[in-house]
Chain A
């Protein structure tokens, strides 16, 4: 018993517990940012200005078509090297050696992002930001498609009535279309949220140590060179993660259900009609 209480409070376990915060923080930041990306993408796709509409459609179809894992491996390295390349151009104009030497990607030391001299936490924050940005782009594309569909699902008569009342396009969009589209978007957005929760282990690909990484590391066989030797305990750690993920998605389901009820209230949909009859 005493052994366990020492074991479960070792420095390594503390890092494991902290990684739960990392994952929750990632979700808390990524969800609104992706929603914003999605909203932008959907609005762009609906635009009457053709290049903007093409841009919106290109964004959603390309990102949705590329497998996540490819995107996470390729895009992040490209983004990182892009940032370093730009810093290199700005900070070291006198650098004469080529950036690409065979397989090596070499920028001047001042252009490294983050600098190799910066402490480890800066590297971690940098990786985390790259992760948030990448997640936001990927999930933003899916959200854009959901919102685009939701905007089209709002009955045309509603928009025409708004115009007949003399509202401008902008007013119609913000006062009539946007408040009504959420009820159509919610099932799709709810799905995305669930997928996002389960996609967080991709964090490790981006160099952020998440809960799955720590569960694997802590559960692995520990020989005598460790302070707390034990056998292969990964199954227990993964069972714990299973419970965590199931509980988390269950709570999310309940919240989404409540939101659907709230949004359906007074809407001209089957759900809204059912609520009207009940009342």
Chain B
């Protein structure tokens, strides 16, 4: 078996050297429905899958989907394991320092709090958020005690088992969670953070960025982007 694997690996290295067409590897998390998810066939699905496939068609690129942990999604982009991040990532100044973003494909949307009871203390209590998100940064500044989790699902679970008083995340994700867990409810006022969701790219990939920008603009112009957003209920319309 080992021999087989080594041989195939060696073959792949040799055979690969001959061709180098334009394949764009799309990196996503696959754990953030309805934005991106692993469907029942084990394939990447969700809003961003449909959006990404359409963008690639319009930009005449061959695209391949890969999943990566949210924690290391930026380092793996930089070291070239894939070429784009399409994972519900909001544009922020901190991220702009490390990677480049295309034009946003969804408008900036408020985040919401979800809790078990109405009277939770949102500025002094314990609030759950996913590590490395704009919501985590916001909670840390708000004075509440922040508990971070590596995957979105865990943040909701923390509220349900009482580890956290409330969870702060994107409206669309939490609306889905509330639907699945009727004991949860939306509390407090929505908070406006983040600057829209866009594809993340390496700073040196400006050509690819232009291609995607053109494709995103064309989808905005003919209304197909709004249709997709409406279908998956991920954000407000353009």
Contacts and interface: CB of A to CB of B under 8 A. Distances in A.
Contact of A116 (B1, B25, B78): B25
A231 B13 CA distance: 44
A20 interface: no
A-B CB proximity, top 5 nearest: A11-B41, A115-B16, A15-B42, A223-B176, A12-B42
Contacts of B20: 109-110, 115, 117
Interface string A189-227: 000000000000000110100000000110011111111
Contacts of B142: none
Given A105-B80, A118-B16, A234-B157, 8 more contacts: A11-B41, A15-B42, A106-B202, A109-B20, A220-B151, A229-B180, A232-B157, A232-B160
Contact of A225 (B19, B33, B42, B202): B33
Contacts of A116: 23-25, 64, 83
Interface stretch (B3-11, B189-197, B219-227): B3-11
Given A25-B1, A28-B1, A29-B2, A225 B46 contact: yes
Nearest to B78: A103
B41 A10 contact: yes
A80 to B, nearest CB: 7
A105 B81 CA distance: 10
Interface in A108-166: 109-110, 112-118, 120, 122-123, 125-126, 128-129
A36 to B, nearest CB: 11
Interface residues of A, number: 56
Contacts of B1: 25, 28-29
B40 A77 contact: no
Contacts of A227: 39-40
A137 B46 CA distance: 39
A129 B39 contact: no
B97 to A, nearest CB: 9
A116 B64 CA distance: 9
A33 B2 CA distance: 10
A137 B96 CA distance: 37
Contacts of B38: 12, 217
Nearest to B82: A116
Given A12-B42, A113-B13, A204 B69 contact: yes
Contacts of A118: 12, 16
Given A109-B20, A225-B37, A225-B46, A114 B13 contact: yes
A65 interface: no
B98 interface: yes
